[in-house]
Amino acid sequence: MEPKTESGSAALTSEDLATIEDEEVLNKMLDNAADFEQRRMIRAALRDLLKKKRDKREQERGSRQQDLKQQGLSKGGTAGGAVSVGRASMNQQQPTNKLSSQPSPTFSTSSNRTTTGQAGPAVASAQKCPPAAAPNAKNVKQMLLDWCRAKTEPYEGVNIQNFSSSWKDGIAFCALVHRFFPDAFEYSILNPNKPRENFLLAFSTAERLAGCPPLLDADDLVRMKEPDWKCVYTYIQEFYRSLVEKGLVKTKKRP
């Protein structure tokens, strides 16, 4: 049962929030909270929950590795056998990203469609993004940036300041998608040193659950020193519109 907020008779406390172990419940409470102090407590509770899940997963991983090692020793396995068991354990724990072997979609300037297929270096380098936003869209761009920052604020490792360098490791994309689909993947195990995997995970999840077309190419993003802001801005606009169409974002104005 959710603790009562300012609309109820009981005041929201950090002790109440500490008993909630569902990210989706805390996300909804954060969206509905109007009081600054309540929002601060909810964000802190959400950060603690994500950290708790990450620590628990690492502890379980260590226990499984220890159990497998003990089993190998008890059976009188050789050193080579123990190494094989350890490698098998690690392979089981590392999630297989099937998308890494599939061709990535590329963005076409001639239409809003995406094409799937093997693209050579010449095609990838020729990828272009839409022209810069018109002057009268400046406020819309800032509103969308503020929206991204607010939705990813509770997430560790995310600090969105722009539509370019803030997205270069893919973690910000994953955090934004995870905010709306918390059961789609485990955010706490993501590695900022694996940007390609992060891009593929975020784009494929957004396409599958939100119906957002994968306008960005993971390989192109990895090759860039930092993403082109026009490309990122265009993708975030499309993701936002997809959420609105799904009824996951309610607003009178659409970026």
Same domain, yes or no, for 46 and 75?
Answer: yes
SS3 category, 114 = strand
Is 251 domain-assigned?
no
Residue 65 to residue 57: CA distance in whole angstroms:
12
* pTM given for the model: 0.53
- What is the distance of C-alpha 54 from the center of its chain? 15
Angle between helices 23-32 and 36-74 (to 10 degrees): 170
Is 221 domain-assigned?
yes
- CATH number for position 166: 1.10.418.10
- Look at 90-99, 128-137, 175-184, 195-204 and tell me which has the smallest mean pLDDT: 90-99
pLDDT of residue 32: 76
Same domain, yes or no, for 128 and 186?
Answer: yes
Residue 84 to residue 77: CA distance in whole angstroms:
10
Same domain, yes or no, for 46 and 76?
Answer: yes
- Residue 57, pLDDT > 90, answer no
Of 169, 237, 233, 242, nearest to 205 by C-alpha is: 242
Same domain, yes or no, for 241 and 202?
Answer: yes
In angstroms, the first-to-last Cα distance of the chain is 35
- Residue 76, pLDDT > 70, answer no
Per-residue pLDDT, averaged over 241-253, amounts to 87
Of 97, 103, 89, nearest to 185 by C-alpha is: 97
List the domain range (segments joined by +) for residue 31: 14-93
Is 212 domain-assigned?
yes
pLDDT of residue 217: 95
Residue-wise pLDDT for 105-141, tens only, equals: 333 333 343 333 344 333 333 345 655 545 456 789 9
Same domain, yes or no, for 127 and 178?
Answer: yes
pLDDT of residue 131: 55
Please give the mean pLDDT across all residues of the chain.
74
Per-residue pLDDT, averaged over 94-115, amounts to 38
Is 102 domain-assigned?
no
- Residue 246, pLDDT > 90, answer yes
- Asked if 68 and 86 touch (Cβ cutoff 8 Å), the reply is yes
- Asked if 65 and 89 touch (Cβ cutoff 8 Å), the reply is yes
